[in-house]
Amino acid sequence: MAEAPRLTESASAVFAVLARAGSATRPQLASMAGLSKPTVSSAVAELEGARLAAHSGTVSGGTGRSPAVYRLGPAAGAVLAVDLGPALTRVRGCALDGALLAEATASRKDAADAVREALTALPAGLPLRSIVVAVGDVAKRDRQGSGMRPATAKAGPVFDAVTVALPPGVPVHLENNVNCAALAELHEGAAHGRHTFGYLRIGVGIGLGIVVGGQVLRGSNGAAGELARLPYPWDEAREPRQEALEEYIGARSLLRRAAAAWSRADGPCPRTTERLFALAGEGRAPAREVVARHAADVGRLAAAVTAVLDPGLIVLGGSTGADPQLLPGVRAELARLSWPTEVVSSTVGDAGTVAGAARLAVARGVQTVTEAAGAKD
């Protein structure tokens, strides 16, 4: 990784504003940064000298001299986002203004190949500023080695393989995959314009992304929203087991319930949740009954979330949660057990996690460039 040049505080502020805007004139930069025009002119000159900003044309129209437009320069660099999903690994390379530069998708076992493909597709000579890897549970850590890494048997080898494929010297940050998806919903999905909401992911596992005041709530251990850890069941005859709620609501149990409800007269039993929901959509009675029960279970979980957070909005995501067939049942059960709360389906789809991870990587990358601010002042 090329070391970022030391910047004055004013140049750092202008760089951060330019990264958010994508392109801007000097008057626009002065307005957005809250700095005087002479200060911005000096800062832009400094950024141009460091190749962190570049002239990209002029604004046409009006009378008088056309103002110059600036964008990030070639030395600003790029970032990498990696989503280690349960089945697929998705990778995106972005410029510090968020522009997509490269992407790759591969099976989970070929995660390292996807990372290498994306890195190869990045423009030559572009310094890599930050890497964000979205994982299932950042609270599980290997305290034997250095740094923070997933300690689960399934995630560990895949993460190790990806680490080998990453270029040395670039800061790597782990983030919960549900939090990443929640950020995507906030900025470009079903929660756009809403500053407080809960993103409830239901699939093979369960999880909650909590957004309050436009910021993801992570908790002291990075484990806020780990619904799998809720005590379950609450039953006099049975002791709660660790992650038993996830086991009950997750996709595997959903398919087991479908198998138990199926008869030979109903035809082949669905082996995937996608097939189960497709049959429910076709009106097949056993499939509809299983999906309706699943909707009620998710509604009860949504009621628990509402009781604790009062989010005002719950976005349903995940391989089963995002299916719109769940909405009526979830809404009905939530209304029965709690106060009125809006419930909608996710709109960002399977790419939401890597999209959110890319946003985090961009923010980290900008911070990497600007953190030496003040060294020259």
pLDDT of residue 151: 38
| Token reading at 98 | 């968020």
CA dist., res. 140 & res. 66, Å (int)? 55
Please report the DSSP string for 84-122 in residue order: E-SSEEEEEEEETT--EEEEEEEEGGGHHHHHHHHHHHS
Query: In angstroms, how far apart are the furthest CA atoms of the chain?
Result: 82
Give me the residue label for tokens 């999905």. 189
> What is the tens place of the pLDDT at every residue in 363-372?
999 999 998 6
The pLDDT score that the predictor gives to residue 159 is 81
Q: What is the pTM of this model?
A: 0.87
Positions of the chain with pLDDT lower than 70, given as ranges? 1-2, 61-64, 138-156, 372-377
Q: Amino acid letter at 153?
A: A
What pLDDT does 143 receive?
34
* Residue 238, beta-bridge partner list: 235
pLDDT value of residue 79: 96
pLDDT of residue 64: 59
Residue 177 vs residues 180, 201, 218: alpha-carbon distances, Å: 5, 10, 12
What does residue 172 show for φ and ψ, rounded to 5 degrees? -115, 125
Q: What number of residues does the chain have?
A: 377
Query: Where do the domains of the chain lie, and which CATH numbers do they carry?
Result: 9-75 (1.10.10.10), 78-180+353-366 (3.30.420.40), 192-347 (3.30.420.40)
